[in-house]
Structure 1
């Protein structure tokens, strides 16, 4: 049943108020009409990542009876993809749909807003963010840039990336030019990779022209949509660098504090719903996309253990370096590590045990 049908069935039905001559509720009379702009770090063809912003705008309008309307603009229409946070910080736009890891050049602690290598899966991320104080810690970092951030989506575990040639050992990483975002790029650099920060809309041309040799983006659905399989044959897993990638909506901090409480609640509610929407989209669409890629000739490969082990050691070096240089990075890392290590004791006898059981039973059919 639609929301308006529910309202119509209750005490607040506008038609019933009009029929009885009663005034509209006070909240409807006093709430201001707001028209905000939201830039995105994503292009329109990326219907899930860009679509999350559209979802949020639609829900906020519904929750405020059209009083608070947000118009989203794709990357490049108002500002380039990687200038989204600057635009919000300076109040050129009120909001942006983006991801913290795009801005680790400003502060490496922003990586934790999205994902950190060898750290949390999607379930752990949500528990840490909403129940473990993660959101408050992250907003201490965002406040430095005059931004208030709300989670808007999670991709779930990502893939390890597309490569033009097979990766048989650590030596095959040496000199590889790879589009890879966030701290995963710092980690790979220690193993010889030359990381490239490229906006989503510019990745395919760079791969096609040979400017890069490999790319890590999200997963089967988006990767196929962007056509990476047309120019790179080998598709590697697991996504060691992104156990689950959280996205955000950035709000100018001054505008956030000026919002009526009801509008802030609408944004919080819509962003929470948008996070569930995005994860369910990827969990549904990645399945068919991977089957299609395999049928079209994509070679699915698992990273060799020695490659994973080398990347893990490199990650510990990066963590130590960043912790020494950035106290907030250290605090966020310690918070996530403590929760990760403790929560695995539970997941080992819960989700992991269930999935292992089901895989064994499926293999036996």
Structure 2
């Protein structure tokens, strides 16, 4: 018998012999096992890995008393039904992207990313210090779960195209794998949005069934080999200035947790949130170099296209705000926050980063 087990057994025996209650600290760390379903496959190691890191930190913080088993998309439920599984308490929690569920309510999009709103740093600031967590959880309460920030991809790429996009007219009739608000924007400009699972994108591009597709960014896109069938790699992904992932937790299950376990959940989620973008920022530079060397032609969207998409996005927002009070409440908070953030970023981040980028182009760094 190990020393730890001996002491634990001795303590239990001593308490039992005296008729006293177990110490409060022992009562506050009962063995609990949860299941977490991810909306992502294991091949997306950075995103899927955030859930694994979360579970690992929970176990370590509770001396392995609170264990969370992580399942990849499809192992328990399909990836796009993860939130439903949490609502119904089929599982206690999920790691997912809120905008997968815009079919239920467009407000879900605001939990992940929507065209021309916040970048990843602004999202964190809004969530943690701008009331964003409370606002989103007020909305999520209708679905019987809470959400905690659980990672961010950072600004995504604009996708892979079989032909160049030079004017807004080039979007007309364009069949693109893209969903959510961005798909509505594309449709408003004459495009044809398509919804395809990750594994179906490459063959659709290869056969010409679709003309373009967005996925994530260099590190994840490289794995799917899009450069072989759609060489034009556009940026930026204006519909996702920073895609935030979340841990959805069944409200009743969370309420039943001892307070120390609730604290561990919040801390582990915050750690996963930081680690995901840190890894993407570390691995994307090398991936974009490899893609360029392999034939990817990097192209910025023309200003004319960006302006048209911005205008169309605002028109769609106005339509949704007019008929969805819940969406309006959160959207108004985000846009007010965005105004102040970009005022500050122009003074701080933009001037510093622009200067350093000039130095890089001069090969001074």
Same fold (TM over 0.5): yes
Please give the alpha-carbon distance, in whole angstroms, between the structure 2 residues aligned to 1:201 and 1:274.
26
Task: Give the distance between the partners of 2:124 and 2:59, measured in 1 at CA.
Answer: 25
Structure 2: tracts of 5 or more residues without a match: 13-21
Deviations 1:229-260 (A, max 9, x none): 22211100112111111001111122111111
1:285 is aligned to: 283
Alignment equivalent of 1:120, drawn from 110, 115, 118: 118
| Alpha-carbon distance in 1 for matches of 2:39, 2:210 | 21
Query: 1:201, 1:38 → 2: CA distance?
Result: 23
1:230 aligns with 2:213: no
Asked if the contact 1:43–1:201 (Cα under 8 Å) also holds between the matched residues in 2, the reply is no
SS of residue in 1 equivalent to 2:45: coil
Deviation of 1:18 (Å): 4.6
1:175: how far off? Answer: 1.5
Q: 1:221 and 1:25, CA in 2 relative to 1: closer, same or farther beyond 3 A? A: farther
Give the paired residue count. 351
1:190 aligns to what?
188
Partner Cα separation in structure 1 for residue 331 and residue 129 of structure 2? 16
CA change 1:22–1:256 in 2 (3 A) is closer
Contact conserved, 1:42 with 1:200, CA < 8 A, in 2? no
Where does residue 219 of structure 1 map in the other structure?
Answer: 217
Structure possessing the higher radius of gyration over alpha carbons: 2
Counterpart CA distance in 2 for 1:256 and 1:26 is 20
Deviation at 1:362, TM superposition (A): 2.3
Q: Is the Cα–Cα contact under 8 Å of residues 158 and 243 in structure 1 kept in the other structure? A: yes
Q: Which runs of 4+ in 1 moved over 4 A?
A: 21-26
Q: Secondary structure at the match of 2:143?
A: coil
Q: In the alignment, is residue 38 of structure 1 matched against residue 36 of structure 2?
A: yes
Could you state the TM-score of these two structures normalised by the residue count of structure 2?
Answer: 0.91
Structure 1 equivalent of residue 142 of structure 2: 144
Q: CA deviation at 1:25?
A: 7.0
1:250 maps to 2:251: no
Per-residue CA distance 1:17-65 (angstroms, 9 max, x = gap):
959x878974245422111111111111110111111111111111111
For residues 135-156 of structure 1, the C-alpha deviation after alignment (integer angstroms, 9 at most, x for no partner) is: 1111111111111111110111
> Partner of 2:135: helix, strand, or coil?
helix
| Alpha-carbon offset, residue 225 of structure 1 | 1.2
Q: Gaps spanning 5+ residues in structure 1: where? A: 1-13
Cα offset for 1:167? 0.6
Aligned to 1:250, what secondary structure does the other structure show? Answer: strand
* Equivalent position to 1:108, from 99, 106, 109: 106
1:351 to 345, 349, 352: 349
Determine helix, strand or coil for the equivalent of 1:48.
Answer: helix
SS in 2 for 1:141: helix
Post-superposition offset of 1:162: 0.7
Shift of 1:77: 1.3
Return the alpha-carbon distance in structure 2 between the equivalents of residues 194 and 261 of structure 1: 49
Cα deviations by residue, 1:156-195 (Å, 9 ceiling, x for unpaired): 1111111111111111111212121321111111111222
Deviations 1:314-356 (A, max 9, x none): 0011100110121111111111111111122211111111001
